[in-house]
Amino acid sequence: MEFKLQSEFKPSGDQPQAIEALVNGVEDKHKHQVLLGITGSGKTFAMANVVQTLQRPTLVIAHNKTLAAQLYNEFQTFFPENAVEYFVSYYDYYQPEAYVPSRDLYIEKDTALNDDLDRLRLSATRSLLERRDVLIVASVSCIYGIGSPEKYEKMLLIFKVGERFSRQVILERLVELLYTRNDIDFHRGTFRVRGDVIDIYLAESESAIRVELFGDEIESLVRFDPLTGKKQMSYQHFVIYPASHYVAPAEHIPETLSLIREELRERLEDLNAQNKILEAQRLLQRTEYDLEMIE
């Protein structure tokens, strides 16, 4: 699907020349270009015209969440039929771990996550892997890595109507994707089981998918509203994405744990050699806890 700009306005004044110059600069592989003399929504409109002309997946980086949210809303207005996504930090509050030597005080890391922002981040990832007409508005936090795209794609759970897929295998795969079974409180990132019917509340959406089995065969795939139960769409093919970016195939975990333990051993030797017994103990305790969580 192509980018399709929808607006009752047309470029005017110096905008047509600016849009043409920016497009030519991209096609000529210029690394840096600056758009001057346009403010507010006029600049967003000019860039929307550039995006429509180039027809390429686009990343828009803003200084902070506030500006990113404004740009996200504006681009959604210009491209209502395309995948305009929002990718910012999902922390409402973040207190990094710290140590105050003068008071021998260790402060543990404390965080508060925003569920909606997490959903939007996962939605952006899905759109990137499924389509070309993607425009992602992000804050500078997008420069931080979220893992290997190749490993992430290997984790996808693909359903096809008529395909043989045992109920137990589906449940095990959902757990691998970090979905949690909850037959009572059905919310984002969970699934519930009722006989041969498995409902999955998608981590990247406000909708859910119902997988109906007949024996070991997938009989139907239906998207529905988890609040009303109303059917939204039927599918012959559907892909379930991981409920978190921080997921890895099970076969890679032993190797990862081994590498962590080896690095831990080296750091402990270094700290003990400097007679930093307290620091070594704290590192050992925290790392062992993290290893247990991974296992």
Residue 79: partners with Cβ closer than 8 Å, 6 or more residues away: 3, 4, 5, 6, 48, 51, 133, 135
Crossing angle (nearest 10°) for helices 41-54 and 15-27: 40
pLDDT confidence of residue 295: 74
Exposure string for 65-84, b = 16+ CB within 10 A, e = fewer: beebeebbebbeebbeebbb
Mean pLDDT is lowest, of 20-24, 199-203, 244-248, for: 244-248
Mean pLDDT is lowest, of 68-77, 79-88, 206-215, 284-293, for: 284-293
Average the pLDDT over 29-34 and give the result: 94
Higher pLDDT, 41 or 75: 75
pLDDT confidence of residue 185: 96
| Phi, then psi, of 133 in degrees rounded to 5 | -85, 65
Which CATH number applies to 149-240? 3.30.2060.10
What are the residue boundaries of the structural domains of the chain, listed by start? 14-143, 149-240, 251-294
- Cβ 158 vs Cβ 242: under 8 Å: no
pLDDT confidence of residue 234: 98
Mean pLDDT computed over every residue of the chain: 93
pLDDT confidence of residue 102: 83
pLDDT digits (tens, 9 = 90+) for 38-67: 777 789 999 999 999 999 999 999 999 999
Distance separating alpha carbons of residues 29 and 219, to the nearest angstrom: 50
> In the chain, what percentage of residues exceed pLDDT 90?
75
pLDDT confidence of residue 142: 87
Q: Is the pLDDT of residue 6 over 90?
A: yes
- Cβ 200 vs Cβ 216: under 8 Å: no
**Which class is 14-143 in CATH?**
alpha beta
Specify the pTM: 0.88
Q: How confident is the model at residue 108 (pLDDT cuts 50, 70, 90)?
A: confident
Q: How confident is the model at residue 247 (pLDDT cuts 50, 70, 90)?
A: confident
pLDDT confidence of residue 115: 94
For residue 21, CA distances in Å to 24, 28, 58, 143 come to: 5, 10, 18, 27
